Amino acid sequence: MSKKDTSKTATKSKPKDHKKNDFEEKIDGLENNINKLEEELNHEKEKFLRLFAEFENYKRRTSKERIELFKTAGQDVLLALLPVMDDFDRALLELKKSDDDTLYKGVTLIHNKLKETLRTKGLEQFEVKQGDVFDAETHEAITQIPAPKDDLKGKIIDVVEKGYQLGEKIIRYPKVVIGQ
């Protein structure tokens, strides 16, 4: 080979190296773009998963609230009917004292029908009787009197007003007198 030939190969190799560097730079640039896009994709996936989890929690919470609302939907109406039940109880006590047995039976039938209708709607009477232990969580003490017997201290002496619950929720606490 002559000098001319070697110089041609030397000059030819330089552009090849230059092209190779440009190509490597483009590859590096593309790899950087790919890395950035992967980071953005991971970030967006993470945002999506968080949003999805929040939405699932929202659905679960609203579903629970809706079920609770359906359970206690008639609470206002039932609360309005409780004084009527109290009046029936007082009327039955007074009619029991009278001699009119047919009137007593008639009022008892109406009372039982109303009571059963309210029971089908989820209303239950909160059972409290004399001698039960007073519990501030489930009873409302209206007064304290000296206990007639020592074994009634801290216990319920009298039930002034019945309590009612709708499902598991107490909607009216029983009003009681407790012994000191």
The reported pLDDT for the residue numbered 10 is 47
Does an H or E element contain 70, and which?
helix 3-71
Read off the pLDDT of residues 76-126 as tens digits, 9 standing for 90 and up: 888 999 999 999 999 999 999 988 889 999 999 999 999 999 999 889 998
State the pTM of this model: 0.59
Read off the pLDDT of residues 122-170 as tens digits, 9 standing for 90 and up: 899 988 988 899 988 999 999 999 988 888 888 999 999 999 998 888 9
Q: b/e per residue, 18-46, with b = 16+ CB within 10 A? A: eeeeeeeeeeeeeeeeeeeeeeeeeeeee
Task: Check if the beta carbon of residue 87 is closer than 8 Å to that of residue 110.
Answer: no
How far is it, in rounded angstroms, from Cα 153 to Cα 90?
28
Task: Check if the beta carbon of residue 157 is closer than 8 Å to that of residue 122.
Answer: no
**Distance (Å) of CA 70 to CA 79, 119, 122, 163:** 16, 16, 11, 22
The predicted model gives 27-54 an average pLDDT of 93
Residue reference for tokens 């490597």: 24
DSSP for 6-69 reads HHHHHHHHHHHHHHHHHHHHHHHHHHHHHHHHHHHHHHHHHHHHHHHHHHHHHHHHHHHHHHHH
The reported pLDDT for the residue numbered 16 is 57
Q: Which CATH architecture has domain 75-179?
A: Roll (2.30)
Residue reference for tokens 């709708």: 166
The reported pLDDT for the residue numbered 18 is 65
The reported pLDDT for the residue numbered 70 is 76
What single-letter DSSP state applies at residue 74?
T
How far is it, in rounded angstroms, from Cα 13 to Cα 33?
30
